[in-house]
Every structure is written in structure tokens, then in C-alpha cells.
Amino acid sequence: MRKWVTTSIFLYFLYGLVVYWYLFIFSGTGVPAPYEGTSADPATFMSGRELLLTQEYSTIRNFLYFVTIPFEWFLLFIFMISGLSRKMQDWSSASSNLFTIQSAIYFFWLSLFVSVISLPVNWIGFRISKMYHITTQSFSTWMKDQLIDFWVNYLLMTVIIIVLYSLIKRFEKRWWLYAWLLSIPFSMFLMFIQPVVIDPLYNDFYPLKDKLLEEKILEIAEKADIPAEHVYEVNMSEKTNALNAYVTGIGSNSRIVLWDTTLNRLNEDEILFIMAHEMGHYVMKHIYVGIAGYLLLSLAGLYIIHVLMRMIIARYGGMLKIRSMRELAAFPLFLLLLGTLTFASSPLSNTVARYQEKSADMYAIEMTNNHEAAISSFQELSRAGLSEVNPPALVKIFRYTHPTMLERILYLEEHGNRN
């Protein structure tokens, strides 16, 4: 065990050094020379201090992202190799004869272990956002959100564990297929209830207060044949200075949501462009395309996890204190493989998402025909969130679900020049 733990720590440290070198030393900043002085150049719409803060904050945030992703995998590995997973399974089995109770007890301790160890790392991210005036939350409200996250994830994952292990125990060779089939209605159910059950746990949502603006937004919606009665705003200014708007939910619970920070910092034309962008997602059914893509990836992922779990348990089960994938003690291995596969597939899913975002941008510009407002809205989004206009390549590949601001502004300019 000491050998494997020491090797893991060394590899993690080496990985951190490589990430630090790439982000802080190797990667350049700014925009390519041909675009200097254009509306895509942050030097034309940011002050010198804003440029410096953007570079610092973005680099630190990217570094934290890349080093914290494998940190949870490391914790799950430690939970297994130390024997804690086996002990928690034995203790939960002794606590009740009901498998549902055993699963709930086991996953509570696993969740608590990962959450408590990860809390200092999450707190560092919170403090950095606070230092750069992105986060406006107090520590108490931040902790409240952490507790809500814990219990929401715990309740949802406990249901998943109970169903998953019931399938593994009954269909050990085909559990992955049946789990995938059940994930389809479960995912649709979560998408349906999220806007009305889960999201309000974190923030207050209400119809847009500016009725004149809402009327103009609904006029655009009517032109696009979108059956919308309200546009919602959310009180995100209590938590952040960043700007955002999004589409969430499916069916009758679909919502177009504007952060109040967006309402406070953008003018009317810029807001109308942003809302037309979100309507573009609805018109082009990007939510459903995203669900379909997720389901296809999850089918392949569950099968790969099934194969890898069998191989790993057969070869390293003794070291990991796991005798069979039918045991609760093997669930950290499931989560570890799920996390690594999700991260490995993120370049593909992000590429699809960036294509959808570009399509929504083009839809919005066709609807509003206001290139100046579109470009200035992207510039303000960058300033408010201290976002890099032209991030390093690996950051874009693994993190960006939207085209970079450089790309978005440039193709809007090109579209405007053609028209």
C-alpha cells in the first residue's frame, strides 16, 4: 500500500508541475498579431489593470481546475487501498439487513470523506474568486451552498447506487445495458424538475421585473415561434459579479433565465442579443441534441467501465480490498473510472457544445441584426468575469463549452462585413 500511495503522490506532484509549466511559463497571452487593435483585442476594451487581473485570475483558475480534477480520483483510490471502503461496507452491512439502508449508510460515509478532504481545496477556489471580486458571497452563504450540494448529490447518488447494485447483483454481465436504459427516463426526469425543484434551492427565480424589456424579448420569441410567457431573472448579484443567461429544463418546465448581473451591466440591445442567442438553442433543439449525445456517450462509458472494473478487480482486487464488482466496496472504483472517462471525453463533448454555441450566436445576429451590440456584449462578458479572450489550447479543449471570445467576436465581425 505504501508503495502505491507514494507512487500516486509522486505522479500527482509531477502532473502538477507539468500543468504549472504549461499555464504559467509555456503558454503565451494576448491575441495573435493580425488581430491586435481590433474589437477582439482585450487591450481595446480593458484597462491595463483589467488586463493584468484577467491574466492572473484566468491562469490561477485554470491551474486549480486541472490539479483538482485528479485530486478526487486520488481520494477515491486512497479510500479503497487503505481499506476504508471495505470497512465502511462491513459496518453498513452490520447496521441493517436491508440493502437500501446499507447503501445509504455506505455512501454517506464515502461522500463525507471526499467532501471533508476536498473542502480546503474548494475554499481556496472561493477565496481566489473573492480576491479578484468575481465572487460576492460571504463565507456563510458559500458554506450553505456547499451543504446543499452535499445533500442534493447524496440523495440522487444514493438512488443511483441502489438501482445500480440491484442490477449488478441480478445481471452481472449485462448490468451496464439495463443501467443505461433506466438512465434515459431518469435523465429526462431530472431535466424536467431541475428548474422548479433543484435550482430554487440555490437562488430566487422570478419573472423579469422590467416588463417593457420582457415584452421586447417575447416579441423576438414570437417571431421564432417559441411559446414563451415569461422570461425569468435570478438574483445572482448576491453571489457573483459575472454575467450569464441560459436555457434550462424541458417540456413545460423549459425556462429562459437571465442573471440580474447581466441586466445591471448590459444595455437593452446587448440583452436582446443575449436572449436571442438563448432562443436559438431552443429553436435548434440543442437541449435535446445534448441529451441524445450524453446518452450515446454514457452507453459507451458504462460498457467500458464494466470491462475495466472486471479487469482491475481480477488483477488488483486484493490490493484494493475488493473481491467483486457486486460489492459496495467497489463503488469508489466505479466513480474513479467514471470521472476519468468523463474527463477524457470532454474534448469531444466540448467541441459539439462549441458548435452549438456558434450556431446560436449566428441565429441571434440574424434575429437582431445588431453587430455592435453583439460584440460589445461579448466584450462586457469578458470584463465582468475576467475571462481570457484567447486561452491556451489545452484550456480551450478541456474547459470551453463556448467558442473563445476571440473566435466569437471575429466571426461576428466577418458576418457584419459580408452584410
What is the distance in angstroms between the CA of the first residue and the CA of the last residue of the chain? 66
Which of the residues 278, 327, 357, 407 is marked catalytic?
Answer: 278
| Cell numbers linked to 56 | 492572473
Give the DSSP H/E element, type plus range, for residue 258. strand 255-259
Question: Does residue 327 sit in helix, strand or coil?
Answer: coil
CA 183, distance to chain mean position in Å, is: 19
Q: Are 273 and 365 in contact (CB under 8 A)?
A: yes
327 is catalytic: no
Q: Would you mind telling me the total number of residues written for the chain in this entry?
A: 419
Between CA 72 and CA 335 the distance in angstroms is 10
Between CA 285 and CA 295 the distance in angstroms is 16
In DSSP terms, 247 is beta-bridged to 256
Between CA 348 and CA 252 the distance in angstroms is 30
* DSSP per-residue string spanning 124-145: HHHHHHHHTTSB---HHHHHHH
Which residues are known to be catalytic? 278
